[in-house]
Amino acid sequence: MITSGEHQHRSCYVNFAGHLLNSFSPNMLHPQLPNSWLHADWMSFIDMIKDFGFNVYEFWLVPRLFCRSGLDSDFGKRFTSQMQDIIDYAADQGMATKMFCSLATVGADWRTYCPNVTDEWDECLFLWDQWTKRLHRLGMIGIFPGDPGACSRNGCTPETFIDKAVEVSDIIKKNQPDAQIELNTWGNPFFGWGCIEGPDGWQGEFVQDYQHTAWTFSRPRADRAMTHLLKRLKHFPEYTAVAINLAFNPDADPKHGDGEQSAQSWAREIAKTNPILTWDFSLTEGENAIIPHYRFERLFSQRKREREAAPYQGGMCYTMTPMLNQLSLYQAAQSFIDPDADHREVTRRFYSKYFGYKERELLDILPLFEIVPDWGNGVKIDIAKSEYRRLMLRGSEIVREIKRDNANDNEAPFHPAPKTYLNDLMFFFDLFACLSDEQPDFAYCRQTYWNKVYEIYNDLPTHVDPRPTLATNNLIRVFDDSSNDSAKSPMPGRWI
Ligand SMILES: [Zn+2]
């Protein structure tokens, strides 16, 4: 628990939500489908992130679980039992587990209940009560406003989110007195509370076409919401942490919009009474551009900006690909511990420690994967396609050499086995080499990528969020000269 300025909270958030499923993430929601993790997998994952430098493992209690069928169904019961085993194992290793949940978004269809409708709000309180009774030994429990979710029906506003979070935190504290509360401000003041729109007759259903309305920024609204938050902070349990980024915009950039979206003064004000944490979501991955990421220049410069701006006590790093982007997780944990570190040196340390590879050549090639425009990635990679292809082929060759030279002698905890990681890295080098060929077979590349990454969706009904298909198309377009520039813009679903 963060009770003093000495303690730094370094959380690894694995997002296994239904719209972000993929082969590099645990499938916790569909027991009949592939990619489930056994308890041994989770143990080895927890050991690895602890070794990386994290002290918290974090998960989202997704809406599909936050409902009656989540409580009563076989899959809900299975989830509860598996998650309790994970929490217990982590606690035994000295790692806290944080569960967070949207205030009022309920069920697989992501409907948001209205706190101003008595029956709907009673149901939310019932679900909060049940879930915080079911899982034990949680170190932290977070309440966040939405995405998906948020209500603007019946007079709901960002202030409603805060007031109702106070009510929920009382329930949490009653059921789990040892757990710390985290209030997450996610999205410019409190996501779409008070501003999300819906079609005629809307009853809080998730409607993709209206999602963008939740992101509309207004400084007066932000000031009102934050003033209310400050006023009500004393009504939350002692030591309630507040997750607030440097700015109320997608990339947490306080300079964006002539500085009017800066959250720094609010963060400093909150820090006078409560711990503040960063939850900068796009620093590591963004959403759905599933590739081996390399965004570390920005990661470390943001950590330094945070240090200058306000007394942050750590924060969260996110992944939806814990079995592909271990390097990002390692860098993220290390960026909290030493914001002044040189990310190239951290990469070198990672490959040396976990794979016995001590050369520097790979360090120049890995950043080239970050060629897909995406939330959190504004880097332009400007080299000739033939040179790009040459470097991808060279990357593949290096990985093959690492595999040959360092088979089975790694004792540091790593999940999955280093060999699996190296095979996957090689897959991406080979795929990107194919894509940057003079005359690529895009249909083949597209199918190969889909089979490797998103095959699980072949056996599921179409999800309310179409991101996997869009992300796959987006990757192909980056390499397809016949597609126009507008098609190469970041995909829908990111913050806009
Ligand atoms: Zn409402």
**pLDDT tens digits, 325-358:** 999 999 999 999 999 999 999 999 999 999 999 9
What is the reported pLDDT for 408? Answer: 57
In the reported structure, the alpha carbon of residue 420 is separated from the centroid of ligand 1 by a whole-number distance in angstroms of: 47
In the reported structure, the alpha carbon of residue 158 is separated from the centroid of ligand 1 by a whole-number distance in angstroms of: 10
Residue 294 belongs to some domain of the structure: yes
In the reported structure, the alpha carbon of residue 280 is separated from the centroid of ligand 1 by a whole-number distance in angstroms of: 27
Residues 367 and 465 in one domain: yes
CATH number at residue 331: 3.20.20.80
In the reported structure, the alpha carbon of residue 230 is separated from the centroid of ligand 1 by a whole-number distance in angstroms of: 22
In the reported structure, the alpha carbon of residue 177 is separated from the centroid of ligand 1 by a whole-number distance in angstroms of: 29
In the reported structure, the alpha carbon of residue 203 is separated from the centroid of ligand 1 by a whole-number distance in angstroms of: 9
Domain boundary among 342, 372, 390: 342
Residue 494 belongs to some domain of the structure: no
What is the reported pLDDT for 464? Answer: 57
Question: What are the beta bridge partners of residue 102?
Answer: 144
Percent of the chain with pLDDT over 90: 82
In the reported structure, the alpha carbon of residue 115 is separated from the centroid of ligand 1 by a whole-number distance in angstroms of: 5
Give the separation between CA 123 and CA 104, rounded to whole angstroms: 9
In the reported structure, the alpha carbon of residue 116 is separated from the centroid of ligand 1 by a whole-number distance in angstroms of: 5
In the reported structure, the alpha carbon of residue 193 is separated from the centroid of ligand 1 by a whole-number distance in angstroms of: 8
Range 76-86 average pLDDT: 96
Nearest CA to 230 among 179, 200, 265, 269? 269
In the reported structure, the alpha carbon of residue 279 is separated from the centroid of ligand 1 by a whole-number distance in angstroms of: 26
pLDDT digits (tens, 9 = 90+) for 446-485: 999 999 999 998 888 776 567 888 899 999 999 998 875 5
Averaged pLDDT score across all residues of the chain: 93
Range 92-98 average pLDDT: 98
In the reported structure, the alpha carbon of residue 153 is separated from the centroid of ligand 1 by a whole-number distance in angstroms of: 4
Residues 419 and 456 in one domain: yes
What is the reported pLDDT for 189? Answer: 93
Residues 311 and 374 in one domain: no
Domain boundary among 289, 317, 342: 342
Residue whose entry in the numeric block shows the structure tokens 């109702």: 164
pLDDT digits (tens, 9 = 90+) for 294-310: 999 999 999 999 999 99
What is the reported pLDDT for 1? Answer: 81
Residues 124 and 29 in one domain: yes
In the reported structure, the alpha carbon of residue 247 is separated from the centroid of ligand 1 by a whole-number distance in angstroms of: 26
Residues 390 and 472 in one domain: yes
In the reported structure, the alpha carbon of residue 164 is separated from the centroid of ligand 1 by a whole-number distance in angstroms of: 11
Residue 1 belongs to some domain of the structure: no
In the reported structure, the alpha carbon of residue 191 is separated from the centroid of ligand 1 by a whole-number distance in angstroms of: 13
**Per-residue pLDDT band at 487 (split at 50, 70, 90):** very low
In the reported structure, the alpha carbon of residue 95 is separated from the centroid of ligand 1 by a whole-number distance in angstroms of: 37
Residues 157 and 232 in one domain: yes
Q: Are 25 and 14 in contact (CB under 8 A)?
A: yes
Q: Is the pLDDT of residue 112 over 50?
A: yes
In the reported structure, the alpha carbon of residue 114 is separated from the centroid of ligand 1 by a whole-number distance in angstroms of: 4
Residues 232 and 359 in one domain: no
SS3 293: coil
Q: Is the pLDDT of residue 496 over 80?
A: no
Range 97-117 average pLDDT: 97
In the reported structure, the alpha carbon of residue 171 is separated from the centroid of ligand 1 by a whole-number distance in angstroms of: 20
Range 247-266 average pLDDT: 93
In the reported structure, the alpha carbon of residue 160 is separated from the centroid of ligand 1 by a whole-number distance in angstroms of: 8
Range 28-56 average pLDDT: 94
In the reported structure, the alpha carbon of residue 232 is separated from the centroid of ligand 1 by a whole-number distance in angstroms of: 19
- In the chain, the number of structural domains is 2
Residue 323 belongs to some domain of the structure: yes
**Per-residue pLDDT band at 154 (split at 50, 70, 90):** very high
What is the reported pLDDT for 459? Answer: 87
In the reported structure, the alpha carbon of residue 412 is separated from the centroid of ligand 1 by a whole-number distance in angstroms of: 50
Exposure b/e, 388-424, CB count within 10 A at least 16 = b: bbebbbbbbebbeebbeebeeeeeebbbbebbebbeb
Residues 449 and 472 in one domain: yes
What is the reported pLDDT for 491? Answer: 35
pLDDT digits (tens, 9 = 90+) for 204-236: 999 989 999 999 999 999 999 999 999 999 999
Q: Among positive and negative, which fits the CA dihedral 298, 304, 310, 314?
A: positive
DSSP summary character for residue 464: S
Q: Are 280 and 315 in contact (CB under 8 A)?
A: yes
In the reported structure, the alpha carbon of residue 272 is separated from the centroid of ligand 1 by a whole-number distance in angstroms of: 31
pLDDT digits (tens, 9 = 90+) for 190-201: 999 999 999 999
Contacts of 152 (CB under 8 A, 6+ apart): 192, 193, 194, 195, 196, 197, 198
Residue 3 belongs to some domain of the structure: no
Strands (E), 6-144: 9-14, 56-60, 96-102, 105-106, 111-112, 140-144
In the reported structure, the alpha carbon of residue 129 is separated from the centroid of ligand 1 by a whole-number distance in angstroms of: 20
Residue 492 belongs to some domain of the structure: no
In the reported structure, the alpha carbon of residue 105 is separated from the centroid of ligand 1 by a whole-number distance in angstroms of: 11
Rg (CA), the chain: 22
Could you tell me whether strands 140-144 and 9-14 are parallel, antiparallel, or unpaired per DSSP bridges? unpaired
**Per-residue pLDDT band at 407 (split at 50, 70, 90):** low
DSSP summary character for residue 455: G
CB atoms under 10 Å from CB of 177, counted, come to: 8
In the reported structure, the alpha carbon of residue 396 is separated from the centroid of ligand 1 by a whole-number distance in angstroms of: 53
Residues 285 and 148 in one domain: yes
Residues 323 and 411 in one domain: no
Could you tell me whether strands 241-243 and 105-106 are parallel, antiparallel, or unpaired per DSSP bridges? unpaired
Give the separation between CA 348 and CA 340, rounded to whole angstroms: 16
In the reported structure, the alpha carbon of residue 145 is separated from the centroid of ligand 1 by a whole-number distance in angstroms of: 12
In the reported structure, the alpha carbon of residue 46 is separated from the centroid of ligand 1 by a whole-number distance in angstroms of: 38
In the reported structure, the alpha carbon of residue 392 is separated from the centroid of ligand 1 by a whole-number distance in angstroms of: 51
User: Cα-flanking dihedrals φ and ψ of residue 180, to 5°?
Assistant: -85, 145
DSSP summary character for residue 490: P
Q: Is the pLDDT of residue 486 over 80?
A: no
In the reported structure, the alpha carbon of residue 120 is separated from the centroid of ligand 1 by a whole-number distance in angstroms of: 9
What is the reported pLDDT for 488? Answer: 45
Residue whose entry in the numeric block shows the structure tokens 């991406």: 428
In the reported structure, the alpha carbon of residue 184 is separated from the centroid of ligand 1 by a whole-number distance in angstroms of: 19
In the reported structure, the alpha carbon of residue 492 is separated from the centroid of ligand 1 by a whole-number distance in angstroms of: 26
Span between the terminal Cα atoms of the chain, in Å: 34
Instruction: Please name the helix (run of DSSP H) or strand (run of DSSP E) that holds residue 87, with its range, or none.
Output: helix 74-92
Domain span at residue 113 reads 9-342
In the reported structure, the alpha carbon of residue 104 is separated from the centroid of ligand 1 by a whole-number distance in angstroms of: 10
Residues 429 and 334 in one domain: no
Range 104-129 average pLDDT: 97
Residues 33 and 56 in one domain: yes
> How many helices (H) does the chain have, and how many strands (E)?
15, 10
Residue 489 belongs to some domain of the structure: no
Domain boundary among 280, 312, 342: 342
Residue 414 belongs to some domain of the structure: yes
Nearest CA to 87 among 35, 30, 16, 139? 139
In the reported structure, the alpha carbon of residue 198 is separated from the centroid of ligand 1 by a whole-number distance in angstroms of: 12
What is the reported pLDDT for 493? Answer: 32
In the reported structure, the alpha carbon of residue 300 is separated from the centroid of ligand 1 by a whole-number distance in angstroms of: 39
In the reported structure, the alpha carbon of residue 463 is separated from the centroid of ligand 1 by a whole-number distance in angstroms of: 25
Nearest CA to 110 among 495, 463, 466? 463
Q: Is the pLDDT of residue 489 over 50?
A: no
Percent of the chain with pLDDT over 70: 96
Contacts of 129 (CB under 8 A, 6+ apart): 171, 175
In the reported structure, the alpha carbon of residue 267 is separated from the centroid of ligand 1 by a whole-number distance in angstroms of: 27
pLDDT digits (tens, 9 = 90+) for 357-391: 999 999 999 999 999 988 888 888 989 999 999 99
In the reported structure, the alpha carbon of residue 132 is separated from the centroid of ligand 1 by a whole-number distance in angstroms of: 23
Residue whose entry in the numeric block shows the structure tokens 């902070």: 233
